[in-house]
Structure 1
Amino acid sequence: MGRGDLSARLEPHLPVNRGRGGRWQCHRWVINGILFRQRTGLPWRNLPPCFGSWKTVQDRHRSWSAEGTWERILRAVQAEADAGGRIDWGMVSVDSTTCRAHQHATGASTHAPKIPGRRKSPARHRPDEGLGRSRGGLTSKIHLAGEGGCRPLEFVITPGQWGDAPQTIPVLEEIRVPRQAGGRPRTRPDHVGGDRAYSSRRNRCHLRRRQIKHTIPEPGDQRANRRRRGSQGGRRTGFDKTVYRRRNEVERTVNRLKNFRAVATRFGKRAYVFHGTVSVAVIRLWLRPQ
């Protein structure tokens, strides 16, 4: 293994005890198989034999996605970065990107899926499976908050036709970076930026309530409505063009994220499996040398 081998860096955060049936075997081949499929987007059955049984690789990725293992690993990696001062909390921008759904991503059954070795349904099972129909066909949308180092802090998956503004608060509320020294996790950035799609009174009130500075341009129709209402329309929103230029950081974050073909095109039927796929890509970005 050479290019893309992250098993050594992830080893301290990997689960050891599988529960009933003994312990996991070596994770190295399985993780490298997941990363290989992540980058190339090939079907699970076409994994090269050097990664072992494709079924083992697929089942482990599916079970770890359902149990939230990938999310716990991501939290641990972010905690290490925060302890080393490698997270830019000064500017966090929000944005979204649409991912086309492959024809194999459709046709999921309506009942809750079964998890290998587990009796309970996954926590992230949703009835719409994060799929929506728009002009481009079936799509999913990734709403994310990226820090200044072009790495996602958190993301939310919704159907492709859902708007951006209503998902601003859910994305920001998902940010929870643990502190290695103990204490409450950090959840509040210093500044939040976004484009016109995120301009709404609800979002601005939420950010003011949390004492978070924000740079979000106000669309023309909202400015006209505010002026028409006179003194009841409120004060003019502040806008700093210099700070707004940093919004390119989240756009570059989206470009890096969609370099993974399994993220740019959704192949999984279940929303929690695709959520795990995106989590693996985010972990890969956090472990990339800056």
Structure 2
Amino acid sequence: MRRHELSDAEWEFVRPLQPATLRGRKRLDDRQVPNGIVWKFRTGTAWRDVPERYGPWATLHTRFRRWAMDGTFERMLRAAPARADAAGDIDWLVSVDSTVVRAHQHAAGVRKGGSAALAPGRSRGGLTSKIHLACDGTGRPLAFTLTGGNTNDCTRFTAVMEAIRVPLIGPGRPRVRPTHVLGDKGCSSRAIRGRLRRRGIRHTIPERADQVRNRPRRGSRGGRPPAFDTQLCKRRNVVERCFNRLKQWRGIATRYDKTAESYQARRPRIAPDAGVTFEDNSY
């Protein structure tokens, strides 16, 4: 195993999740292609510069695009937390936050329509995208959405929460509801708090300064200040540490892809064990 390649345990986890080809000519080794894709994501290089030991770059790109469009990478992303949940290793204290990703000039020029809403947005920093992420209490990514970098966090909070779906290994519905949600001031709104209460989800979200000032002015209509646990809020740093891990992959730290499907498929390799900690960089 070379640097930036799948270990034997990781390969045993990924292998059954790849789509099988029952006809046509014999294709490249199934492990060689994922290794080439992982190497390209980790280093952030161009497809044409991937080492020849992984096969023709066009084959790697074609396989990657096919898997991104047919849901193969999505199945891999779902399988890892499903196995962790079956082992009781998911901490359902969920933290939600976002991070801005600089878009390379190669990511510009997305055609209008289709995935144009997920194209890089223009802000003070130039072309940027934003990853809205929900992770569990150990830093394991559970769900994410992609928007332009000029999108407000509170507008995508509901979409991120609805994207949390951890399948059960066996019969039963996927788990979609955390026990507690941590967020920053960007998620502080009546609509978000009301929706969490209706779903029976406890939450710890600090209020913005303007909301604190306006409550006395509104009198009885201002309502009571929401409960806030200072010690519990300190655990929200886990999502920041999760972003730090993800951005060790240069293909994630910088957006080189025009299409949202390709960029969303640029995920770190899946951990084969029941869970992931910050001491384990295999996720």
1-structure distance, mates of 2:150, 2:118: 13
What is the CA distance between 1:21 and its match in structure 2? 4.0
1:144 to 129, 133, 147: 133
2-structure distance, mates of 1:157, 1:35: 21
* Superposition pairs of residues 189-268 of structure 1, within 5 angstroms: 189-268=178-257
- Equivalent in the alignment of 2:101: 99
2:18 to 3, 14, 19: 14
Contact 1:126 1:271 in 2 (8 A): yes
What is the CA distance between 1:182 and its match in structure 2? 1.3
Structure 1 unaligned residues grouped into runs of 5+: 112-124
- Equivalent in the alignment of 2:270: 283
2-structure distance, mates of 1:130, 1:7: 32
- Worse-matched range after superposition: 132-141 or 71-80: 71-80
After superposition, the CA RMSD in angstroms is 2.0
1-structure distance, mates of 2:85, 2:212: 39
1-structure distance, mates of 2:17, 2:69: 17
| C-alpha distance 192-22 of structure 1, shift in aligned 2 (>3 A) | farther
Deviations 1:63-84 (A, max 9, x none): 2112221011111122111111
Q: Which amino acid aligns with 1:11?
A: R
- Equivalent in the alignment of 2:85: 82
2:263 to 269, 274, 281: 274
1:185 and 2:174 are equivalent in the alignment? yes
What is the CA distance between 1:15 and its match in structure 2? 1.2
Classify the secondary structure of the residue corresponding to 2:128: strand
| C-alpha distance 282-172 of structure 1, shift in aligned 2 (>3 A) | farther
2-structure distance, mates of 1:223, 1:53: 59
1:62 and 2:49 are equivalent in the alignment? no
| C-alpha distance 159-104 of structure 1, shift in aligned 2 (>3 A) | same
| C-alpha distance 288-229 of structure 1, shift in aligned 2 (>3 A) | closer
Q: Which amino acid aligns with 1:9?
A: F
1-structure distance, mates of 2:201, 2:186: 19
- Equivalent in the alignment of 1:52: 55
Q: Which amino acid aligns with 2:57?
A: W
What is the CA distance between 1:164 and its match in structure 2? 0.5
Q: Which amino acid aligns with 1:147?
A: D
1-structure distance, mates of 2:26, 2:67: 15
What is the CA distance between 1:285 and its match in structure 2? 9.7
1:39 to 39, 42, 50: 42
Q: Which amino acid aligns with 2:61?
A: Q
* Superposition pairs of residues 160-171 of structure 1, within 5 angstroms: 160-171=149-160
2-structure distance, mates of 1:288, 1:36: 21
1-structure distance, mates of 2:224, 2:276: 43
Matched residue count: 273
Structure 2 unaligned residues grouped into runs of 5+: none
2-structure distance, mates of 1:284, 1:227: 50
TM superposition score normalised by structure 1: 0.89
TM superposition score normalised by structure 2: 0.91
